[in-house]
Structure 1
Amino acid sequence: MGRLQKRVCKLVLDYFEATYTKELGSIAWRKIREILTAPELWQYAVLLNNFTSPCEVEKRLHEKGYHLLLQEALSARPETLKCYVNKSPGKFPSQRHQFDRLKEYYILNASSLLPVLALDVRDGERVLDMCAAPGGKSIALLQCALPGYLHCNEADVHRSRRLKQTLESFVPKSHMNFITNFDVDGRSIGKLCPQMYDKVLVDAPCSNDRSWLFSSDAEQATTRILQRKTLPGIQTALLRSAIHALRPGGSLVYSTCTLSKAENSDVVANILNSCDDVIPVDLSDLGTALSHEFTFASGVRHGLLVLPDQGKSWGPMFVAKFRKKIQ
């Protein structure tokens, strides 16, 4: 078989079972569980790199039944943003990193594009990707527009190396002069760079549901479940730092890849209750436009929550947006 078959960690699954049955309801969780625990049902998208000429890749994608994710849904879609998806599960082969040769595409979960679309970066803007590794959202941002400068931050040393390699694999050297890599704790950026950015993306560290299910042994699962209680505090601190780093009138997007209410809507509510200089931005139009490609949870205030579903096995992905008031 070559690769070992992925195995579900029972401790993590039992924890999710108890938590998400309560938060989402037994019927919704049962459908989500069916997708999360079956990698053979997962779908993967292909984001083209417009710094190359991937004509042959597009031809192969069409032959395999892929279609453009945003072709008709969003009238304001950047023409340079091309993401191909397939209704059937499966994964297009990845490309290896090669020195001095750019990759033509990036494999990702299609829901990862939602934070990028919500941020709506324009040419010339000053942008911060606060928790940028492994780099997929930074690459997607660069497919939408060319910022005045893009600061990609990742505090973890090993993940920061991976981020740098990703950028080298997708961005021509001529464009690297407006991209800067940070490796500082995101919670300190607000003090280091007050009111510096037009747009900030906080794709926060979270209890990544898919990853936790398949990358945990019993000891790791116990530790992760205990640490999960600390994550909302970290996420809230990152958001407060991002707000300090944002110029008045600027926009901030917060995202996670978990279903957890404590890490999603509760964090957003905490920010709105404690920070009087930001207001929520309604993303319902984005959700409506993409409802044929994604399954969104109902009743989520101040954000969108993508639920893995049969034939739409993207997510989990939570997205919320804020705008900083002009004093």
Structure 2
Amino acid sequence: MSNHMFSVQQFYVTWRRICCKSKKLTPVALNWLWSSNCHAGSRVVSLQSNQKGTSNKQVTKRPKKESSSCQAVLNHFDQQYSEELGDLWPSARHVLLDPPSWQYGVMLNRFSTVTDITQILQSQGFSTLLPQTNISVLLCNDPSMVSHSKYHEGKDTLLSSDYINKRPPDNSLPQPGQDPQSEPSLSLPRPSLQCYIHPSPLRFPSQAHRPGQLKQYYLLNAASLLPVLALQVRDGEKVLDLCSAPGGKALAIMQSATPVLLCCNEPDPHRRDWLAKTLESFLPHSLNSRVIVSSQDGRSFGQSEAGVYDKVLVDAPCSNDRSWLYSCSNQQGEQRLKERARLPVLQAQLLRSALSAVRPGGIVVYSTCTLSSFENCAVIETALSDFPEAEPEDLWEEIAVPLSKYFAFSSHPGHGQTPHKPSLKPQNGTVSSYQHRLGILVVPQPGKTWGPMFLSRIRRRK
């Protein structure tokens, strides 16, 4: 086994050292061991328990099917991305074709006990991507962003129907600006978005879904947290996650703030069930009246809920570069490439809907997990042409510069130096000043394998 990978014995020994002074593991540690599968590169091992309830050193290895890339998709990527990314594409291509090199992030759940998890992560060389403080310290302190939202006191259940259209009259709601933390029935931990990452391609064990028990952490591509940072959610706001499944970004929103309402929308029934299960696994019942699941067509929110939300996230359906490269045959790949040409139309419709659903002064963040400029900057330009009151905001100094230690952005190959803001003249592997205002792009690179991830922030002027 590679030095970069965990062994079951390493986990077991470390947990014993951290969790107990006697010969017995703590209930937290035992529960974690029993509910986890240890992933080590292409090898997957799981701990078993014997009849006496003690851990068994014997492991069961579950072989992972080797996957090969789709040549039709790869050829298309080579043609498009070599032109769009220039010198960045060969190294990005190398990373995309080498799944064992991919890094993983561990986002902690503030609604669960994570002290033991934090210790085990630190002992194995994981470090924090973000400060363990209120996420608002990373955001600009703009008084105009303080929400005047009202909220609905609903039943203590996670709704699967459209909640917004069923909310009660305004006169039945509390006064605007009420601090959600002041509710006597709601006592929540301080918002703190904590994500641990490792410099090596090491995957922390996943936790199985256990009804009635909150998971302690969520595994993700750390670049997927950047759209949430850009969204700048604050306590008491109304937030719409327009394309929410499988739910990772919704969870990140709830780690970073306590919105008065988070509407997680997903029209596809199977993905919606996946989303609901994710929320159930991480969020306490006390939040059920605030975090709801909607089944609308995302393109309809602009009409049905015009100006309702303070913040809207559009994590748009896209030609997911990592997924598409491995999840289809050549024949299926050819069909997907035809579908890819139609995606920008849908993406622009969703973005227009979001811009209509956000209130004047509110923020929309658009994101994808593809390198394609047709699904990124081109979509932003198309949608903005219909919204003269909407203005893209520069994310370079706010996100790209401070996080360049961990992520490689399109105007910076990622060799450990502080990136320079692009000039007006486009160059290979860079973006022009105009494109730069439209968004920033995380490009997978050796040692910084996060991404692809494009994000753009648009503010609707008052």
8 Å contact 1:121–1:141 — kept in the other structure? yes
**Aligned equivalents of 1:77 and 1:51: distance in 2?**
21
8 Å contact 1:70–1:77 — kept in the other structure? no
**Aligned equivalents of 2:91 and 2:334: distance in 1?**
25
Assess, with a 3 A threshold, how the Cα gap between structure 1 residues 101 and 75 changes in structure 2: closer, same or farther: closer
**TM-score, normalization by structure 1:** 0.97
For 1:294, which of 407, 414, 421 is the aligned residue?
A: 407
Is 1:324 the counterpart of 2:456? The answer is: no
For 2:305, which of 177, 188, 193 is the aligned residue?
A: 193
**Aligned equivalents of 2:243 and 2:131: distance in 1?**
29
**Aligned equivalents of 1:95 and 1:28: distance in 2?**
35
**Aligned equivalents of 2:106 and 2:247: distance in 1?**
15
- Provide structure 1 residue ranges, at least 5 long, that are not aligned to the other structure: none
Paired position in structure 1 for 2:183: none
Can you list the C-alpha shifts for 1:264-322, whole angstroms capped at 9, x where unaligned? 01111122223112011111121111011100012142211000011110000000000
Percent of pairs with identical residues: 47
For 2:450, which of 314, 317, 320 is the aligned residue?
A: 314
**Aligned equivalents of 1:159 and 1:272: distance in 2?**
29
Paired position in structure 2 for 1:37: 97
Alpha-carbon shift at residue 232 of structure 1 (Å):
0.6
8 Å contact 1:258–1:318 — kept in the other structure? yes
Paired position in structure 1 for 2:332: 220
Alignment-mate amino acid for residue 53 of structure 1: T
**Aligned equivalents of 1:277 and 1:234: distance in 2?**
22
**Aligned equivalents of 1:142 and 1:75: distance in 2?**
13
Paired position in structure 2 for 1:48: 108
Paired position in structure 1 for 2:146: none
- The count of residues paired between Structure 1 and Structure 2 equals 325
- Provide structure 2 residue ranges, at least 5 long, that are not aligned to the other structure: 1-61, 140-190, 412-430
Paired position in structure 2 for 1:107: 219
Assess, with a 3 A threshold, how the Cα gap between structure 1 residues 72 and 167 changes in structure 2: closer, same or farther: closer
Paired position in structure 1 for 2:259: 147
**TM-score, normalization by structure 2:** 0.69
**Aligned equivalents of 2:381 and 2:204: distance in 1?**
38
**Aligned equivalents of 1:99 and 1:257: distance in 2?**
31
Alpha-carbon shift at residue 128 of structure 1 (Å):
0.1
**Aligned equivalents of 2:322 and 2:403: distance in 1?**
22
Is 1:7 the counterpart of 2:68? The answer is: yes
1:18 counterpart SS class: helix
**Aligned equivalents of 1:30 and 1:75: distance in 2?**
37
2:137 counterpart SS class: coil
Can you list the C-alpha shifts for 1:12-56, whole angstroms capped at 9, x where unaligned? 11111111111111x311100100010110000000000001111
Higher-Rg structure is: 2
1:177 counterpart SS class: coil
Structure 1 stretches of 4+ with a deviation exceeding 3 A read 72-75
2:361 counterpart SS class: strand
**Aligned equivalents of 2:330 and 2:304: distance in 1?**
40
For 1:173, which of 280, 285, 289 is the aligned residue?
A: 285
**Aligned equivalents of 1:297 and 1:218: distance in 2?**
29
